[in-house]
Every structure is written in structure tokens, then in C-alpha cells.
Chains A and B, each alone.
Chain A
Amino acid sequence: MIRCFGVRHFSPACAAFVRDFLDETKPNIVLIEGPSDLSGLIPKLCDAQVQFPAAILSYTEQQPVQTVLYPFAEFSPELQAMRWAQQAGIPAAFIDLPASALLAMRTQPESGEESGSDAEIPQRESVYAALERVTGLPHETFWEYHLEQVTDYADFLAAMREYGGSLRAFSEIDEETALREAFMRCQIADATEKYENIAVITGAFHTAALDGIPASDADRKRIAKLKTVPANSTLMPYSYYRLSSRAGYGAGSTAPGYFEILWDCRRKNRLDRAPAEYLARLAAYLRKTGGAAFTANVIESLRLAETVAGLRGGNAPALTDLHDAAVTCMGEGSFAGIATACADVEIGTRIGSLPDGWVNTSVQKDFLDQLHDLKLERYRTGAAQELELDLRENLRVKSEKSAFLDLHRSSLLHRLRAAGVGFGTQLEREQDNATWAERWSLRWTPETEIALVEASLLGDTVEEAAAAALNARLKAASDLPETAALLPEAFLCGLPDCVRTAASAVQAMAADCAQAADAGITLGSLSVSVRYGSIRRIDPAPLLPLMEQLYLKFSLGLHGAAQCDSDAADRLIAACAAAAETVTAHAQLLDRRHLVWALRTVADDDSANPLLSGFAAALLLEWGELPQTDFSALMQRRLSYGASPADAALWFEGLSHRSRRALIARLSLWEQLCAFLSGLEDGEFRTALVVLRRTFSTFTAGEKADIAENIGEVLGLGATDAAAVMLGGTSAEAAAFDGLDDFDFDDI
């Protein structure tokens, strides 16, 4: 005797009634929709130590990795059926296509037009859209009114039969579904040879194809043709958040947190309390996070939800009704106010967990081995702990392994981060520039475990996974700064191959698109990587040609980019500074004359941005590449009557960006500045004053005093007099500055 029971995945009602069904039919075996090659995992899933949600993950051994995921929650009817079988002491088995066969279909998409999973989604949507058109209710709401809220077993069976039938009537059966159903029929037929009473638990959609339909020869033939691929499977902890984000794929649930409330209330036989429970939790969350949630509003929300449900033909509120009522009464009409509360209650933060050692992927193993090797095991706890690393070779120990222990630790942590496993967070160091030291905060969470399982899809070890993740990001990067940012990361992860790949990606990107500013800033970050590469024991050779190329590109492109607004000029100044630092650090590799030529052109060009132009002059001055006579001429021209006072002041600001001591010491400069300022008319003077005041505001008091002395010299005052004027100021001056408050900055 074969009895079929149609369910909906993640439905508390189904999960409750499936037990009634099994109590009633008393089968010798329970057959469940699930990968038939993984029936061996059923006892593990029923283990009391497993905290749900948890999932079975199958993945191909070969790249590119394909995956199938079978998630379960406490309120999964499949899980309840497995548990029932275990408690009754009878066998339970999965009867759907083997995961290895499903993966084979995903790997070779020739059978369908696209890969199986993609073809499934639009079809599913159209079924639900059709149901929506007929019932006038969103599918989820319809399900809740007419099935989820049913408390009588017989009523539920009848409703479910109707529902499964209509689902089927509204959809076309695609290739994959037909194959799966043929397979399940064969499995059921096989079971009849050994068992008398058989209970079959599948999606309601499939019951019509299984109930009372024996396996045909055509089914057998079809099954014989099934291909499989080598695949691995593991149990993994799962989270409600992930369940909800997979809702569109049929293997998830939009509101696992809400369904858990329904499940709990149903088990206490108080399903009628679920709406109140939902609203009360919402209010509790709002209060906890500092929002206002009056009890009166909760009561009113409940009343409103019940009324709206009545208006739409439901007996009790569905999630949409509760949600909308809460928005109206607690959120004052707008969803934004209660959005986080809704997410917390509807989705929930529950994360599953498995007994230690059950998650069985190669990455997991590699990770645990490395933790052991690197003496990091004690950091595998839920409390965050700090770890200080010194990457330099420890000369007091004998073996190489312990000499570079911290370096290896650092590489592991960086690799984990690159692979998306949030085990370590790097903390800021107080002392910057100390590239040999790092500070980490380590914390083990269930999310870490999930992420580790997912990393196993990228490669077999942490190293492979990190490399694969970095390579994927390199491929996706669309501009130079984004690509170049991955280079240091590859360095930190200690992945030489990745460094090479990234370098060539940067090279390719730089060849055709780079702007001067990007090139300069990239150059700076490359230089840092090269200089500190030795600490990480990675050969920087692949980066050197790239640096040469970028350097040349920057030098040639600088002048072209120099006519720009002040935002762009700020970026260019940063790029110039980075390039200057690079050229000093790599004197053998890079020829300084290129940059000197470029800076000189910019400094001489009156149409270039004055800020940038001034900065270029300062750099040249610092390097001794701008003879005194040339500088005087340049300054005279910049500060002449012809130039606009604002531009002149900006130029001076650019000039003062670099070493101020060198400027302060140059008496001729102050002479010319004095001459320039005293030659200005009142209006012009005000304009120049605003900019100059801004410039000098960044000088220290000591520097200002020195400048005052210089100016005192120029004006023929004694040094002390000048300083007195400088420090005291006059009331007339103060008044004049007040007058500048309403200065119109539009022109600057």
C-alpha cells in the first residue's frame, strides 16, 4: 500500500500534519523527496545535537564548481518525517534524483536551453502568477489563508489535494521535472518489493504524478540514461538570513522567523496567538532599539490586521496583513521606521550549528590543520581576542617554520579574508609605517563556519580559495584603481601567482585607459608593495616593469591633465607626491629626469591649475632642479599685476604644500610676496587675503613667527617688532577680518 502526502517545503502546517499522516498510515518505510545518493545523511540530520537550520551541500569535484543545496529548518516537513521514522524505528530514504546526477545536468547544459536551475525559476514564477490572477491574492497570502491556518487534519488533506492539483494544472512540466518524477516512481516501485506499507512525502506539485501511477518501462529507460559526475557532499550549518535570501529559488523561505513563530504556536495548539506574538515581538524590538511602540498601537495593529484579512477573505491575518497593519499603526504609515524590526522578526537571526567535525570539506580540514600548525587553535572561540603579529624573521629559533610563524599566520588571516571567511579583522596600528607589524582581532562564529563551507566551492585549500576569490575580483574589476588595489592584497595573502596575474591585469588596464592621476596613485601603492615585499618574502620582480611603465605614463600625461579644477588638482597633487616618493625610493630603476621635465612643464605653464603648478615648483625647488634665477622669474610672473589675485594666492598655497622650512628660509620669496600684496588694489587685496589666510592657517605658530621675522626684514622693521605685530594683531585688523565673513567665495 502506497500512501502519498504532498507538502510545501518550509511550511509549519505541513510539518505538523505530516506527523499526523504518518501516525495514521503506520508505514514500514518513509520515502522523502531528496537526493537518493545522500540517504546516508538522514541519521545525522535527525541527531539531537543538530541545531537547525542546516543544509546538505553537494558540489562537483571539477572546476567550475556546480552546487546543489538542500536546506532544512525545524519546520521542514521532510525533517519531521525523518524524525518520525527514526522515532518509530523504521527506515527513511530519499528518492529524488541523486545529487551527482543533478550536478551532471547543471554541468552539461545541452539537454535544456539553459542550465537547469535557470530554466526552473521563470517557470515557477508563472505558476504562482497564474494562481495570483485566479485567486486575486498574492501566492503567499493565499497559502496562509487557505492552508497554513488550517488546524483540522481532514480539512488540510482536502485543501492540500486541491492546491497540488491546481499547481499542476497551471504549469507545464519541463524536462527536468519529468525526469525527476520518473526517477521517483522507479524508486517507489523498487521499495514495494521489500516493504508493504510505504509513505511518500514529496512536494504537493509532484503527488499527482506519483500517487497510484506505477513506474513504466519508459521511466526505466529514461533513468538508465542518467549521467553522473563525481561530487562531494557535506552537511553544513545554515542561517535564516540565507534561507530568506534564497527564497526566489524555491529552496528558501521569505520569512523563516515568522514561520518559526507559526511553528511554535502550532505545537502549543495556539495558532491563533501567532499574530499577536508577531506584533509583540516587533514592538519589543522597536523598544529595544530605542523606537516608540505603545501597547495601544500593538492592539490596534492586531485589530486592523484582522479587519484587513476579513476584507480579503481570510479568517486570520496573514503575514502581509500583519506587516501592513504594523506599518500603518506602528510605523506611522511608512515602512522605513520599522524596517529593521520587520527584518529581525520576519527573517530572524537564527544560525544553525552542527557537532564538531561533522562539516567535512577539504577547506575545513585545511583550515583546522593550519590553525593547529600555526598554534592558533585557542582563538577558535566565540569571544573576540586580539593577536599581535611581528612579521620579521625570528632569529632566536632554529627551524624556518617557527622563525616565520607570525608571517605565516598573517598570510593565513589575509587569505581567509580574501576568501570571504570573516574569522579575523585587521585592526589599525597606532604606529603607521610599521609594515612588519599587524594587529588582528579573531572571532569564531557560526557564520564563519558557513563561509568556510562556501569557500570550499572555490578551491580545496584556503590558499586556493583565496587565489580563486582574488582572481574573480580581478576579472570583475573595471578600472585601474580598483585593479591596482588588489595587488597589495595579493601581496598580503602571500600569493605570488596572484601577484603576477594582478600585475598583468594592471598593466593591461594601464596601457589603454589610465588617467595621469590614477597612474600616479597606483605607482605609489606599487612602490609600497615592492619596498615591503621582502618582509613577506615575495619576489617583487614582476612589478618592476609595471612601475617603469606607469612612471613613464604619469610623466608624459601630467601636463595634459594639469588644466583642471581644484578637485582634480588635489588628486593630481597626491599623485605627484606619490610619484616623487617612488622615484626617490627606486632611483636605480626610474629616471628622475622624466618627472623633472614633466613638473617643469607644469610649473611653467600659466594655464595649468595654479595650485598644481605651485606644487610642482615646490617639488622642483626641493630637489634643487629649479635654479634660483628661474624661480625668481617664475614667482615674479605668478605674482605679477597681470595674474588674478586669487590664482596668485592659490599658486602660493600649492607652493607651501611642500617643505615650508625651505620656503621660509628664502628671503627673496617674501620680498616678492610683499611687493605683490602692496601693489594690489583694495578689492583685489581682499580676494588674495582670503586665500592666503587659508594657506597660512596650516602653518604652526613657530613657522608664522619666522615668516613674520622675514617680512619684518623686508619691510625694514626689527625682527622683534614684527613678531609683536604678528602675535598681537590690531583691533582694526580684527574688524577688517570680521568684514570678510560675508565674503563671496564664488570666484575662488
Chain B
Amino acid sequence: MSTEIQRLPAEELFKAELDALIANEKYPVPAGWRMSPRSVLTYLMGGKAGKTEITPKYIGDRRPIEIAISTLLTDRALLLIGEPGTAKSWVSEHLTAAINGNSSQVIQGTAGTTEEQIRYSWNYAMLLAQGPSFQSLVKSPVYNAMETGTIARIEEISRCASEVQDALISLLSEKRISVPELSAEVAAKRGFSVIATANTRDKGVNEMSAALKRRFNVVILPPPPDMETEISIVRSRVEQLSHGMELGAKLPEKSAFEKIVTVLRELRLGQTLDGQVKVKQPAGTLSTAEAISAMINSMALAGSFGTGTVTDEELASAVQGAIVKDESRDGAIWREYLENVMRKKGKAFAGLYESLGRLNQV
């Protein structure tokens, strides 16, 4: 049955690992958690549980994850901040999967998110027929999490309107939701917490009110520090994503990942990897997420219109699409990069350069 679902939740996908961790638990388990904080850390960073190999979910420094897990043990909620592609949502999903075995209590923060979506709303047909009652109440994920003592996730919290953000303040400090229509109040069970994520490139975290920020411990997930880490992140993510999508193409070779990551890193950092040539930076974001989507795109192209093997042709169209988002501004920068930097990179990049040259001849 699972083959029909495009993307399984983390707790289904890694069920075997989670079960192994629970079975091999050696440390005390906090109230409302399924496993000890140490096991959660092992689940995210990789390791062993009994005989089962645990794959690393987060590639990078272990410190931010330790802080994140510890935060969930304290009174405060957790706010994960980072550039696109630093695995904020990914970490948040896996944390809840490991701690509660349920990563689906999510609110997607948008400009249109309303206060009702954070607290509760009504099933109006029932409300009209029966009047206010617990049956006609539609609980929000946060409400559910409070009732069950689990963790709710809020994605892109900084995109929510400020009054919606303010609604969260009372929930997080009082740890209870009052339903005045039923003169009832629901207190959070132990284990309740919130993991929010926010994007540094998006509407600023700075615009969040100090009162709300004080309810959160902020953990910044850093962009991948070096080439090798970034390549392994892109590789593992592409591998996982392509399974679900049936792209009809083989996973590209390591050299393809190296090329894409090199190009994106150089443009992002504003200089070549050896630090010798300055490069103009395009306006758009060039995060690890762009590298991942470029690879997926090239695989889709190869699978649907090509031979099923990713060649420089497909890489060229995908990477150009990822970088040149606004032709009038980025176009010139991109062409300058091609001529000044990529052309001089030698054999490894010759194929990609030629394909890009053909693409830009028009």
C-alpha cells in the first residue's frame, strides 16, 4: 500500500530504526516521550541501536541537535532558524517522529493562517444543529498536542500575521487553551511542546515580537560548512526524494554532484573555492535546497526525455534554472561566471560548460 503514497511520514519510513531504538532503550525516558533524549540524538545523528544500524538524518555539527533536543525537555518551545536547505523542517519532522512517533501535527504558517487554525474552530453544521459542544469542536494540531502531551509543529512561523503569532504567546506561557463557549479549559499534559521553523531569507525573524521570541529557544542550523558535507547532504536527500518520485533515472554519479555543488557554493560565497577569483553574486537564494532541486530536476529531465542517465545536458538546464531566476539581473552575472570561471576550470567542467554554451546561444 505504501508504494501509492508519494511521501511517507518519517515515522513510517524509518519505523524499523525507531522500533530498534525503543527496544534497546538504556536511559530514562521523559514523561510523554517514546525514547530517551540520547536515543533521539542517535536517531538524528546516526549510530547503532542493538544490531540495527541507524542512518544519520542530519549531517553536520551535533551541537545544534543536542541543544534542540534539550530545549524540548525544558519549558520552552523550540525555534529552528536557517537558510533554505539547512534541513529545518526535516529536523523538526524527525524530532517529532522520534519523540512522539507522530510527525503529522503540523500547521503551515502563511500570511493567511488564522487564529482558529492555532486554537480551535467549529464544525458549523454541527454547531447549528446541536449548539456548542465538544463534538462540534474542531481541534487544531496545537490543541491535540496539548491534550495528548505531544509536540506540535509550526512551519514558517515568521510568515504568520502578528496577531496569529500573539495567539501563540498565551498558549506557550499558560500551557492551556480555554474554550469560553463551553466554559472549559484544556491544560497541556506533560510532554507538550512546539517546534517552529523560520527562514532567514524570508520575512525576518526580527519582526517577531520580543514576547514571542522569549517563549522560544532559538537554534540556528548553519549552512553546510564545507564542500564534502554539502555534497553528502545533497546526495542523501536526492536519494531519499527520488525513491518517492519514480523519476525513471539513475542516481547521477558523484562527479555530477560535485559540479553542481561547486557552482552553487562559488556563487553563494562570491568567490571561487580556491579563493582566487571574485565572483558576482546573483540576487536569489542559492542554498543547499537549490542544489537538491537542481539534481532532482536533472533526473526528471533525463528520465522523461533523455536516456535515463543524467548527462551534462540535463545538468546544464537544471542548474541554469536554479540560478537564473530573474533574467534581467541574474542573466549577466551567470554568463560572466560561465566565461570567467567555469570555462577555465578545465576538463571536469568542459562538458557542462559546452552544454550551457549551447543553452545560452539563442
Query: B155 → chain A, closest Cβ, in Å?
Result: 18
Q: Is the CB of A334 within 8 A of B220?
A: yes
Q: Is the CB of A324 within 8 A of B67?
A: yes
In the bound complex, residues from chain B placing their C-beta under 8 Å from that of A333 are 79, 81, 218-220
Q: Is B37 an interface residue (CB 8 A)?
A: yes
Contact stretch, chosen from B69-77, B249-257, B345-353: B69-77
Q: Is the CB of A311 within 8 A of B41?
A: yes
Choose one: A294, A308, A310; the contact of B67 (CB below 8 Å).
A308
Residue of B nearest to A300 (CB): B76
Q: Is the CB of A328 within 8 A of B218?
A: yes
Query: A472 → chain B, closest Cβ, in Å?
Result: 28
Interface string of A295-314 (1 = CB under 8 A from B): 01100100110011011100
Q: Is A332 an interface residue (CB 8 A)?
A: yes
Q: Is the CB of A329 within 8 A of B63?
A: no
In angstroms, Cα B213 to Cα A310, docked, is 25
In the bound complex, residues from chain A placing their C-beta under 8 Å from that of B76 are 300, 304, 329
Q: Is B105 an interface residue (CB 8 A)?
A: no
In angstroms, Cα B220 to Cα A328, docked, is 8
Q: Is B217 an interface residue (CB 8 A)?
A: yes
Among B70, B73, B74, max chain A CB count under 10 A is at B70
In angstroms, Cα B274 to Cα A717, docked, is 67
Q: Is B214 an interface residue (CB 8 A)?
A: yes
In angstroms, Cα B213 to Cα A296, docked, is 12
Given A311-B41, A332-B218; A304-B66 close (CB under 8 Å): no
Interface string of A13-37 (1 = CB under 8 A from B): 0000000000000000000000000
Residue of B nearest to A308 (CB): B70
Number of interface residues of A (CB under 8 A): 19
Q: Is B38 an interface residue (CB 8 A)?
A: yes
Query: B144 → chain A, closest Cβ, in Å?
Result: 25
Among A292, A296, A300, A307, max chain B CB count under 10 A is at A307
In angstroms, Cα B73 to Cα A102, docked, is 53
In angstroms, Cα B220 to Cα A287, docked, is 23
Number of interface residues of B (CB under 8 A): 22
Interface string of B55-73 (1 = CB under 8 A from A): 0000000010011011101
Residue of A nearest to B213 (CB): A332
In the bound complex, residues from chain B placing their C-beta under 8 Å from that of A199 are none
In the bound complex, residues from chain B placing their C-beta under 8 Å from that of A300 are 74-76, 217
Query: A94 → chain B, closest Cβ, in Å?
Result: 41
Q: Is A573 an interface residue (CB 8 A)?
A: no
Given A311-B38, A311-B41, A333-B81; A304-B218 close (CB under 8 Å): no
In angstroms, Cα B71 to Cα A384, docked, is 49
Residue of A nearest to B40 (CB): A311
Q: Is the CB of B74 within 8 A of A328?
A: no
Query: B243 → chain A, closest Cβ, in Å?
Result: 32
In angstroms, Cα B65 to Cα A324, docked, is 11
In the bound complex, residues from chain A placing their C-beta under 8 Å from that of B217 are 300, 304, 328-329
Q: Is the CB of A304 within 8 A of B71?
A: yes
Query: B80 → chain A, closest Cβ, in Å?
Result: 9
Q: Is A198 an interface residue (CB 8 A)?
A: no
Choose one: A296, A303, A312, A332; the contact of B74 (CB below 8 Å).
A303
In the bound complex, residues from chain B placing their C-beta under 8 Å from that of A292 are 210
Q: Is the CB of B75 within 8 A of A328?
A: no
Choose one: A310, A324, A334; the contact of B63 (CB below 8 Å).
A324
Q: Is the CB of A307 within 8 A of B75?
A: no
Query: A183 → chain B, closest Cβ, in Å?
Result: 42
Among A294, A296, A304, A325, max chain B CB count under 10 A is at A304
Leading 10 A-B pairs by shortest Cβ distance: A333-B218, A307-B70, A333-B220, A308-B70, A332-B218, A303-B74, A328-B217, A307-B73, A311-B37, A328-B67
Q: Which A residues fall within an 8 A CB radius of B?
A: 292, 294, 296-297, 300, 303-304, 307-308, 310-312, 324-325, 328-329, 332-334
**Apart from A310-B37, A311-B37, A311-B69, 8 more pairs, CB < 8 Å:** A300-B76, A304-B70, A304-B217, A307-B37, A307-B71, A308-B66, A325-B67, A333-B81
Q: Which B residues fall within an 8 A CB radius of A?
A: 37-38, 41, 63, 66-67, 69-71, 73-76, 79, 81, 210, 213-214, 217-220
Q: 13 A-B pairs, CB-CB below 8 angstroms?
A: A296-B214, A300-B76, A300-B217, A307-B71, A308-B67, A310-B37, A311-B38, A328-B217, A328-B219, A332-B218, A333-B79, A333-B218, A334-B218
